[in-house]
Amino acid sequence: MKLPPGLTEQALSDRLDRFQIETPSWGYADTGTRFGKFLQDAAAITIDDKLADAAQVHAITGCCPSIAVHVLWDFPANTIPAAIAAKARSLGIRIGSINPNVFQDQCYKLGSVSNRDPVIRQKAIGHLLDSARIGKEVGSDLLSLWFADGTNYPGQGHIRQRKRWFAEALHHVHDSMPPGMTMLVEYKPFEPAFYHTDIADWGMAAALARAAGPRAKVLVDTGHHLPGCNIEHIVAFLIDEGLLGGFHFNDRKYADDDLTMGSIDPYQLFRIFHEIVLAERETGKDLPIAYMIDQSHNIKPKMEAMIETVVTAQEYFTKAMLVDHAAAAAAGDRDDVVLAERALKDAFATDVRPFLADYRKSRKLPADPLLAFRESGYLARAAADRKSRKPAAGGSYA
């Protein structure tokens, strides 16, 4: 493995030690599409199941110390948030980003914080404030916001007024967050609204984040872009504006397919990481980015897909670290487009798996986390325990 000038294997390993990836509680549970849900015997049912699965993924990969949680799904009525946080700590992980839910209740059919009804808008804002308080109770410093708000037909809503309602709501929540908490504003071009989405792209998310306040940043979901979109350009722009707060990693072929990270376009993933590594080398410090996974593993076993994703993230982040930026810059100064591009292609083509296997072994981790997980028998034990509990949880194997 060829290292660029100035980078040692020790420095590369040290950066990987700091490269942490959050896994999502909902990624361990049964999921589906609007057409239906296919159940898996080992899929998590309760928050305790989800915490156990997340802890196992962290134990076998060594880089997933936190779990993102969904308010309502993971904190049902009468739940004590501090008790969930304590349970997580007892398993060797912590509660990460707090994800409110203002898209599930029937009252949000026509929007939440952009609903024309002020009572519904206030209910949504109240839930966001409650979520921030839960975050404080569990020790989280991230409030991660995604909204389904939008319209399906021209004339259905006043787009500019809805924008103003959004800005007011986010500003209010921002100023009410506990000290040290960051708000992440996510965007999506369509679905479930199909005419217009209130936060449809990174520019709208950036504008609303700025309107909210200095602790609001943009969250980039790699699946939330129209075909052909240059995501790494967006990432670079947000970095330069000081507005890149986090990622939801997944992959897609057509739209928001929520496929396993790097399964469709690994070179795009590499290019995204390249922009991050380049910025870190120029500033001499790690960027404060929350790396999270957001995938719907409808076919693959939940935990295996999660481990596969984590390993993929490590591989392509490592590849991005191998880019010889000095060579690329020198070629660029000569207008040598071919060799400038080659600096990236050479790094992308490098097989970093042997290095990562040694890196893991040096940290007393399995060289191949996925195979180690299969050999552990955890999946079979979880399936045996949970299958019997599925009917009581509303599942059906008919």
pLDDT, residue 392, reads: 53
For range 246-255, the mean pLDDT: 95
**Confidence at residue 350, expressed as pLDDT on a 0 to 100 scale:** 98
Q: How far apart are CA 254 and CA 272, in angstroms?
A: 19
Mean pLDDT of 57-72: 97
User: Average model confidence (pLDDT) for the chain?
Assistant: 95
| Close Cβ partners of 345 (under 8 Å, ≥ 6 residues apart) | none
Q: Return the H-helix or E-strand segment holding 220.
A: strand 216-221
Every domain of the chain and the residues it spans: 9-389
pLDDT above 70 for 259: yes
Task: Please tell me the distance from the alpha carbon of residue 292 to that of residue 217, in angstroms, as a whole number.
Answer: 15
pLDDT at position 338 is: 98
pLDDT for the residue numbered 209:
98
The whole-number pLDDT of residue 77 equals 81
Each residue of 179-207: pLDDT tens digit?
Answer: 999 999 999 999 999 999 999 999 999 99
C-alpha 17/C-alpha 64 separation (Å) is 11
What pLDDT is stored for residue 298 in this prediction? Answer: 87
- At the fourth CATH level, the homologous superfamily of domain 9-389 is Divalent-metal-dependent TIM barrel enzymes (3.20.20.150)
Please write the tens of the pLDDT for every residue from 298-316.
Answer: 889 999 999 999 999 999 9
How large a percentage of the chain has pLDDT more than 70? 98
Higher pLDDT, 394 or 119: 119
Q: What pLDDT is stored for residue 398 in this prediction? A: 35
With bands split at pLDDT 50, 70 and 90, how would you rate the model's confidence at 394?
A: very low
pLDDT of residue 38: 83
Of 28-42, 56-70, 274-288, minimum mean pLDDT range: 28-42
Task: Report CA 230 to chain centroid distance, whole Å.
Answer: 19
pLDDT of residue 274: 98
Residue 292's pLDDT band (cuts 50, 70, 90): very high
Nearest alpha carbon to residue 227 among 266, 254, 267, 190: 254
> Structure tokens of 198?
């209130």
Q: Is pLDDT at 393 greater than 60 in this prediction? A: no
Q: What is the pLDDT of residue 391?
A: 66
Residues 7-26: what's their mean pLDDT?
Answer: 97
Name the nearest CA neighbour of 116 among 157, 150, 167. 157
Q: What per-residue confidence (pLDDT) applies to 37?
A: 82
pLDDT in the model for residue 150: 98
Q: What is the DSSP secondary structure assignment for residue 231, as one 8-state letter?
A: H
